[in-house]
Amino acid sequence: MKQKRWFMLVAILVIASFVLAACPQPTPQVVEKTVVVTKEVKEVVTKEVQKIITKEKVVTKEVVVTPTPVPGEEKVTLDINLGTEPPTADPALATDTTSVTVIEQLFLGLTDLAEEDMHAIPELATEWETPDDGQTWIFHMRNDVPWVWYNPATGEVEVVKDDDGNPRVVNAHDVVYGVKRTLDPRTASDYAYVLYVIKGGEALNTADPAADDLDALLADVGVEAVDDFTVKFTLEYPAAYFPQIASMWVTRPQPEWVIADKGDRWIEPGFIVTNGPYVMTEWVHEDHMVFEKNPHWPDWDKVEGNVERIYAVMVTEASTSFAMYENNELDTAGVPLDQMDRVKSDPELSKQLTIQPIGCTYYYGFTTPKAPVDNPLVRRALSAAIDRKTLVEEVTKGGQIPANTFAPKMIFGSPAGDPEIAPWALPEDMGGWGYDKAAEEARKWMADAGFPDGEGLDILLMHNVSEGHAKIAQAIQAMWQSVFPKANFTIETQEWKVYLKTIGKKTPLEDMPHVWRLGWCQDYPDENNWVHEVFNPEQGANRPRLSFDDPYVGDKIKEFSETTITAARTADPEKRKELYKKAEKLLVDDIAAIAPIYYYTQVVVTKPWLKRHWHDTPHYETWVIDWAAKKAATGK
């Protein structure tokens, strides 16, 4: 019977483990523990701010004096979560924010975007000029940024030498190569179209990769090295926003000799040659990346940052990432929606919380030729009947900002928040009408359009499958229903790629939903990337199918089109702002082609020992860690 007893023992153990696992739900009582720990840290930080700068210098010297491989623990390390495996680190191929974040650390652009308002500031280019009001752009580059290579055998960052043994310095030819490589159809870059503004860019990119005249087309692209450190761009048409395009990853200098040698694999550690403040020393796919300080980057004494090593994990699940943050394994992390209430009410976590606007907008688009939303009054009534304030406060909860324009405030030329545009979309505290009045007017507009109380109105709203989108759609459906009680609103969902196809331009009108959800994030921070590239009926993507033949607002649509085209070609910044304000008003208010809903925000918590910046793409070289405080808190 011994055997039986043994079984019993196992069974008891099993039961015990299950009881443990099924422990009572988390109670807020226990949370206080964390609070005490962070409090101590917080006090240290206020005193440490002065010390950080001196400490930073000491560390820099250390790197210069002893270039032997130092074990990672001794370096000031920043722990972050990339959120996912970056699909690439190749500047010509990146399309997503994770890849762009990685590229930002590794490759410098001709220009950079300022933290506060995203205007173009010098990076590789020290200054630039346009002799002919935006058609030609000449960038003068600095000559002291070397290409570097991380040597995995020695653990050192080495300056790359050319065949004669001289250091390779980033120059105009590297920029020309980078731009041409992005546009080359053989590279098959998803983002090449951003460079169609460059003369000959579209002709090259759309050519048959096997064509004989490819070399001629390559030579015809409007980018040339005037001398080793001056690069000249000739554009198809004047574009005042070109310095911002020059900050994008697709225009960054690329090392031709490495790419020619290693092909697609040139971005792997051990091969990759870069010029940014950090080098990539490790890339374990799906798991983590390690970046180390590039001691040859010439601007270390111009930034306050002291991060010497970045350990970037790829944790997809937001709740896990947040748990790691609470466990001091991450220095900063996003806050999952279901933790928002707890973070806000927790005395310590609420201090670590930042809600930061980002360059993205959530909107509903209308299929403008499709009845009954072919009538702009119906569209405007539907847009005005969305209670944006309640939506962001009760449904999305991430501090999002009610939107009355397509482009958010940080985008150049955006009149976001200006109550002259769609005041019905803004709450009273933002200078708008407030929802009560907006709903009142919406009822009138709907009645004027022939649908009193929404009678006879049958609207199909479609969004892609996602819990978040579903919540928003249901809330908006309920708002519409209460304003237009006799109307019928139906919600349908589709899988993402099927959805994108459905709301594409090739779908016959009868199969299109009346209203569809989308978002837009900036490629570069200028209204041209928004109202023009997304909605211009002649040159933009134009999903709402705006047409000059529109029986109601054809003339306004024509005016909108002319306005964005003129604005793209206007050099004077003030004049451009005026034009974009007009375009936004036409788009959102008069034509009501879309219902902007909110501007996105990122909701993050940051440990008290980290002083971070808020560039649109993180610039880790500017972040400061109080290393002593971090070591004390993490016990390392």
List contacts with other proteins (CB under 8 A): 1, 3-4, 7-8, 10-11, 14-15, 17-18, 20-23, 26, 30, 85, 87-88, 90, 93, 95-96, 185-186, 188-193, 202, 205-206, 209, 264-265, 267-268, 284-287, 313-317, 319-321, 323-324, 326-327, 329, 495-498, 500-502, 504, 518-521, 541
- Beta carbon nearer to other proteins, 315 or 438: 315
Chain position carrying tokens 């082609």: 593
Reading the block at residue 91, the tokens are 């500047």
Reading the block at residue 482, the tokens are 């209460």
**Smallest distance from the beta carbon of 505 to other proteins, in angstroms?**
8
**Smallest distance from the beta carbon of 81 to other proteins, in angstroms?**
9
508: left (phi over 0), alpha (psi -120 to 50) or beta: beta
Reading the block at residue 224, the tokens are 């040339």
**Smallest distance from the beta carbon of 11 to other proteins, in angstroms?**
5
Angle, CA of 297, 301 and 307, to the nearest 5°: 70
**Smallest distance from the beta carbon of 314 to other proteins, in angstroms?**
7
**Smallest distance from the beta carbon of 226 to other proteins, in angstroms?**
29
- Beta carbon nearer to other proteins, 450 or 519: 519
Q: Which whole-number Å values give the CA distances from 162 to 255, 294, 452, in the listed order?
A: 12, 19, 76
- Beta carbon nearer to other proteins, 430 or 500: 500
Task: Report whether 110 contacts 176 (CB < 8 A).
Answer: no
> Which DSSP helix (H) or strand (E) runs through 340?
helix 340-345
- Beta carbon nearer to other proteins, 93 or 438: 93
**Smallest distance from the beta carbon of 22 to other proteins, in angstroms?**
7
End-to-end C-alpha distance for the chain, whole angstroms: 51
**Smallest distance from the beta carbon of 365 to other proteins, in angstroms?**
11
- Beta carbon nearer to other proteins, 13 or 49: 13
- Beta carbon nearer to other proteins, 121 or 521: 521
- Beta carbon nearer to other proteins, 78 or 457: 78
**Smallest distance from the beta carbon of 401 to other proteins, in angstroms?**
20
**Smallest distance from the beta carbon of 582 to other proteins, in angstroms?**
25
Q: Which whole-number Å values give the CA distances from 123 to 127, 145, 222, 224, 298, in the listed order?
A: 9, 10, 22, 19, 11
Angle, CA of 339, 341 and 343, to the nearest 5°: 65
- Beta carbon nearer to other proteins, 484 or 499: 499
Closest CA to 364 of 185, 588, 179: 588
DSSP at 398: S
Reading the block at residue 279, the tokens are 């080098």
Say how far apart CA 630 and CA 507 lie, in whole Å: 55
Q: 147: number of CA atoms within 13 Å, CB side?
A: 21
Instruction: Determine the residue type at 175.
Output: V
- Beta carbon nearer to other proteins, 304 or 317: 317
Q: Is the bond into 372 cis (omega within 30 degrees of 0)?
A: yes
